[in-house]
């Protein structure tokens, strides 16, 4: 049954995914791009942050800075201050209107040229009451509003409206609701509201895309009614019910997509890869120079059980930095090679791909030497494939992968190219999944005849609510222990503003670490800091240190604009110990393993997020010596950025930090653009606040798959298509 309208199965989805210009005109639609609104559905899901009601107008004495409020007050006095020259700059004039409700006071401030100030003064009129809407601020210990929207009252206390936006404000005087939308300077909230009403009218009467049984179990109102409830509410309760339906829709669409992916994976046939008792895996285990942790053993057993099944494994392995995920993944790869298959490891950067190659071949020793004279009979070949390799090296790697000679193939996005072929791809390992979209995982899996097993690795601890939403098609395993021999890392915040001498001490501490025979990372948030206000980057800081406090040390530089050869040379020199201090960007954030590196200085640490700082810190203390991480900042105590740094310094628990990161940055940043396409599919859903809604949607999605295994429900098919288009980032082509 295919009743698709322009590619959509339901009339409502077709209308919601229509380009915004088809309803508002191209000129107005262009104004909405700054709000990430491109379709009719985007606009209708762009709901007010706050509703102002004439029944709860705020008293001045109760105002709280930062709040958006509507107040009725009388203009007590008006005072103009003319523009004046300050140095080479001319400061605009201002009008201050002191407002009072009889008890409290509030200053409404307007800036502009004299003729504008005169106009505002004539509108306001001392002694006359009015309605003022704006955000409350504080200036010189006095509550104020800058440029509030206002309408004045006549002698009878009625609103005198002189424009469309003021007519909208006038509804407050009769107890109506006015939605205050997220807006821009060129697109005020009043215009957003009017455009939302036009979009709502364009929908007409449409059949709800969710079946009745789902709406009943979810206890949500119909979608058309929900849009009306949030954009034209008769009460705050009605607006809340409408918003609840739209939040549920986002959760349900995501969970439906995940549920059908799980079902599709379970229905596909994979070649079982049971462990071989006397193969390559056994030989590797026999020569392994350390014991696996209890967690590594437990997760490995779960993976081996998955690999032995005739349906493809779909597993996410998350673990603290340095918890030993690579060894667990390598053992899975060796088990697949033992059965005649191949394993592909996809890494997000060339530095990380090269590091994986060095780590894996180092662990395998002669077991990774291929079928060469003198290597064990069970040995396999390991190759690396990146975009910057020479033509001859790339050709050799491609041939060894296609022939099956290479049991393990490591690479970057280059592995996704059409010319990359495998003899028998049995396992796909994806490192740092948040750097890749689901579609890239599918491209690599598509290079196998039978469905390959998939193992996804992440060193970024993922809160359960995020895992349910983003990785809901994967079973999750977690490593929490650190292998024996890993040292503790102490983290200290260096306050460069209050205690500049602490920075001098930091460089002295670097010299002490090098004198003890160890190595140091210095990390900067940018390559160059030539723009005003950017501060020092890798280039400037390395030059300054090389000519100053670290002049007698061997300094190396590593950043993304270097050629691949230069990057490999810098990393190899540091790993070999011929460089004492490596000044780098976050290119060293993941995967880099230099056990002799025991110290890290993060410059302008406030420019990094919590999870990123935790990742960076994981590059040190990887050997027997204790690590120390210095977070250099000029941000004052109490500022949000400083609070982040203090939190990182207080704990090494990545999962606790991940929860805090989610609270502070919200999921739009946590999920990242690579995961959610060029715009986040979570416009309203908060994985932090709506975990109960997500859990409910997950249960209902499982029921939906059971009731409709072939995806014949039109609304389900459209919801999944919309989610996939967002994830792929190509919604413009399909709208």
- Cβ 551 vs Cβ 557: under 8 Å: no
Q: Is residue 565 pLDDT above 90, yes or no?
A: no
Provide the pLDDT for residue 43: 95
Predicted confidence at residue 551, as pLDDT, reads 94
374-383 in b/e form (b: 16+ CB < 10 A) is ebeebbbbbb
Please tell me the distance from the alpha carbon of residue 257 to that of residue 480, in angstroms, as a whole number: 29
Who has greater pLDDT, 256 or 123? 256
Indicate whether 730 pLDDT > 90.
no
Residues whose CB is less than 8 angstroms from the CB of residue 283 and which lie 6 or more positions away in sequence, other chains included: 367, 376, 378
Helix (H) or strand (E) holding 70: strand 68-81
314, 463: one domain: yes
pLDDT at 31 over 80: yes
Q: Beta strand pairing status for 84-86 and 89-91?
A: antiparallel
The domain total for the chain is: 4
Q: Among residues 520, 623, 540, which one has the least CA distance to residue 580?
A: 520
Lowest mean pLDDT among 254-258, 312-316, 371-375, 620-624: 371-375
The Cα 442–Cα 566 span in angstroms is 32
Binned at pLDDT 50, 70 and 90, residue 648 comes out as very high
Q: Average pLDDT of 654-666?
A: 72
Mean pLDDT of the chain: 83
Q: Is residue 684 part of a domain?
A: no
Query: Do 547 and 631 have their domain in common?
Result: yes
pLDDT tens digits, residue range 676-693? 333 445 678 877 778 889
464/493 same-domain check: no
Q: What is the CATH number of the domain that holds 89?
A: 2.40.50.140
Listed residues 671, 692, 719: the one ending a domain: 671
Residue 506 belongs to a domain with what CATH number? 3.40.50.300
pLDDT of residue 587: 79
- Element containing residue 319 per DSSP (H, E): strand 314-319
pLDDT at 449: 85
3-state secondary structure 588-609: HCCCCCCCCEEEEEECCHHHCC
**CA angle at residue 338 from 333 to 343, to 5 degrees?**
30
207 and 323 in one domain? no
Which band of pLDDT confidence, cut at 50, 70 and 90, is reported for residue 370? confident
For residues 229 and 363, membership in a common domain is answered with: no
What share of the chain in percent tops pLDDT 70? 84
Q: What is the pLDDT of residue 285?
A: 94
Could you tell me if 290 and 406 lie in one domain? yes
Judgement on whether residues 328 and 469 belong to the same structural domain of the protein? yes
In this prediction, residue 85 carries a pLDDT of: 55
- Angle at CA of residue 411, ends 595 and 601, nearest 5°: 35
Are residues 433 and 292 located together in one domain of the fold?
A: yes
d(CA 271, CA 446): 15
Q: Stretch 439-467: mean pLDDT, rounded?
A: 79
Token representation of residue 157: 């206390």
Determine, yes or no, domain membership for 61. yes
Residue 558: helix, strand or coil by DSSP? strand
The reply to whether 682 falls in a domain is no
Instruction: Give yes or no: residues 331 and 457 share one domain.
Output: yes
Q: Is residue 193 part of a domain?
A: no
Q: Do 407 and 503 share a domain, yes or no?
A: no
Most confident stretch, 429-438, 527-536, 647-656:
647-656
Q: Is residue 45 part of a domain?
A: yes
Name the band, by pLDDT with cuts 50, 70 and 90, for residue 74.
confident
**pLDDT value of residue 729:** 46
- Helix axis angle, 714-728 to 236-267, nearest 10°: 80
pLDDT of residue 44 exceeding 50, the answer is yes
Residue 64 has pLDDT above 50, yes or no: yes
Which pLDDT tens digit goes with each residue over 466-504? 666 666 678 888 887 766 666 788 999 999 988 999 999
Residue 5 lies in a domain: no
Q: 461, 479, 497 — which closes off a domain? A: 479
State which of 671, 697, 715 marks the end of a domain.
671
The pLDDT assigned to 483 comes to 65
pLDDT band at 249 (very low <50, low <70, confident <90, very high): very high
Quote the domain boundaries for residue 119. Answer: 50-180
Q: Are 628 and 598 in contact (CB under 8 A)?
A: yes
Say if residues 600 and 521 touch (Cβ distance below 8 Å): yes
Enter the tokens of residue 496: 């460069």
Distance CA 99, CA 106 (A): 5
- pLDDT given at position 734: 29
- Look at residue 190 and tell me if it is in a domain: no
What span, in angstroms and rounded, lies between the C-alpha atoms of 305 and 298?
11
One domain, residues 151 and 58: yes
Q: In angstroms, rounded to a whole number, what is the distance separating the alpha carbons of residues 551 and 544? A: 9
CA distance 193 to 180: 8
Rg (CA), the chain: 30
pLDDT tens figures, 387-421: 888 899 999 999 999 999 999 999 988 888 889 99
Q: Within this chain, do residues 645 and 728 fall inside the same structural domain, yes or no?
A: no
User: Is the pLDDT confidence value at 661 over 50?
Assistant: yes
Residue 675's pLDDT band (cuts 50, 70, 90) = very low
Among 553, 548, 547, 528, which residue's Cα sits nearest to residue 538? 528
382 falls within a domain: yes
């Amino acid at each position: 049954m295919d009743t698709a309208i322009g590619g959509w199965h339901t009339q409502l989805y077709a209308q919601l995914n229509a380009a915004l210009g088809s309803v508002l005109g191209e000129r107005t639609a262009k104004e909405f791009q700054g709000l990430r609104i491109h379709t009719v559905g985007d606009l209708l899901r762009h709901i007010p942050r706050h509703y102002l009601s004439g029944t709860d107008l705020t008293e001045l004495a109760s105002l709280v800075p930062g709040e958006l409020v509507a107040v009725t007050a009388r203009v007590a006095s008006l005072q103009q201050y003319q523009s004046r020259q300050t140095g080479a700059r001319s400061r605009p004039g201002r009008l201050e209107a002191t407002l009072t409700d009889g008890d409290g006071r509030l200053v409404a401030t307007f800036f502009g040229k004299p003729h504008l100030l005169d106009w505002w003064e004539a509108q306001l009129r001392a002694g006359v009451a009015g309605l003022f809407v704006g955000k409350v601020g504080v200036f010189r210990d006095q509550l104020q509003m800058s440029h509030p929207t206002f309408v004045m009252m006549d002698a009878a206390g009625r609103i005198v409206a002189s424009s469309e936006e003021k007519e909208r404000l006038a509804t407050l005087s009769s107890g109506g609701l006015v939605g205050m939308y997220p807006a821009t300077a060129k697109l005020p909230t009043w215009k957003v509201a009017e455009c939302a009403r036009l979009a709502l009218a364009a929908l007409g009467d449409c059949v709800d895309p969710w079946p009745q049984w789902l709406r009943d179990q979810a206890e949500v109102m119909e979608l058309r009614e929900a849009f009306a409830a949030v954009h034209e509410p008769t009460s705050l309760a009605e607006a809340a019910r409408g918003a609840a339906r739209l939040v549920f829709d986002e959760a349900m669409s995501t969970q439906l997509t995940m549920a059908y992916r799980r079902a599709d994976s379970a229905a596909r046939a994979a070649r079982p890869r049971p462990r071989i008792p006397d193969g390559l895996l056994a030989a590797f285990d026999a020569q392994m120079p350390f014991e696996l942790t209890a967690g590594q053993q437990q997760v490995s057993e779960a993976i081996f059980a998955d690999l032995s099944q005739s349906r493809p494994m779909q597993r996410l392995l998350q673990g603290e930095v340095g918890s030993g995920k690579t060894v667990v993944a390598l053992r899975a790869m060796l088990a697949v090679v033992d059965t005649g298959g191949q394993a592909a490891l996809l890494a997000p950067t060339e530095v990380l791909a090269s590091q994986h190659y060095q780590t894996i071949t180092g662990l395998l020793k002669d077991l990774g030497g291929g079928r060469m004279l003198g290597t064990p009979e069970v040995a396999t070949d390991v190759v690396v494939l990146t975009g910057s390799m020479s033509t001859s090296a790339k050709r050799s790697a491609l041939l060894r992968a296609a022939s099956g000679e290479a049991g393990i193939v490591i690479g970057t996005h280059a592995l996704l190219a059409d010319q990359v072929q495998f003899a028998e791809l049995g396992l796909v390992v994806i490192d740092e999944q948040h750097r890749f979209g689901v579609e890239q995982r599918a491209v690599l899996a598509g290079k196998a005849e039978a469905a390959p097993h998939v193992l996804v690795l992440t060193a970024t601890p993922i809160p359960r609510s995020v895992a349910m939403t983003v990785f809901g098609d994967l079973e999750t395993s977690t490593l929490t222990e650190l292998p024996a021999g890993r040292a503790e890392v102490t983290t200290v915040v260096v306050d460069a503003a209050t205690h500049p001498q602490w920075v001098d001490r930091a460089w002295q501490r670097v010299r002490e670490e090098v004198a003890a025979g160890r190595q140091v990372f210095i990390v900067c948030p940018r390559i160059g800091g030539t723009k005003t206000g950017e501060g020092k980057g890798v280039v400037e800081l390395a030059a300054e240190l090389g000519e100053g406090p670290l002049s007698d040390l061997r300094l190396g530089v590593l950043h993304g604009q270097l050629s691949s050869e230069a990057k490999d040379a810098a990393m190899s020199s540091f790993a070999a110990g011929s460089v004492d201090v490596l000044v780098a960007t976050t290119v060293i954030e993941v995967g880099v393993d230099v056990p002799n590196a025991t110290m890290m200085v993060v410059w302008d640490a406030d420019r990094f997020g919590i999870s990123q700082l935790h990742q960076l810190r994981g590059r040190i203390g990887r050997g027997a010596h204790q690590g120390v991480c210095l977070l250099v900042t000029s941000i004052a105590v109490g500022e949000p950025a400083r609070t982040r740094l203090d939190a990182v310094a207080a704990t090494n628990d990545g999962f606790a930090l991940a929860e805090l990161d989610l609270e502070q940055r919200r999921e739009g940043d946590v999920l990242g653009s690579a995961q959610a396409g060029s715009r986040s599919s979570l416009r309203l859903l908060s994985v932090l606040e709506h975990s109960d809604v997500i859990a409910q949607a997950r249960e209902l999605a499982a029921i939906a798959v059971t009731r409709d295994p072939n995806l014949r429900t039109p609304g389900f098919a459209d919801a999944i298509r919309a989610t996939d288009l967002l994830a792929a980032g190509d919604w413009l082509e399909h709208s």
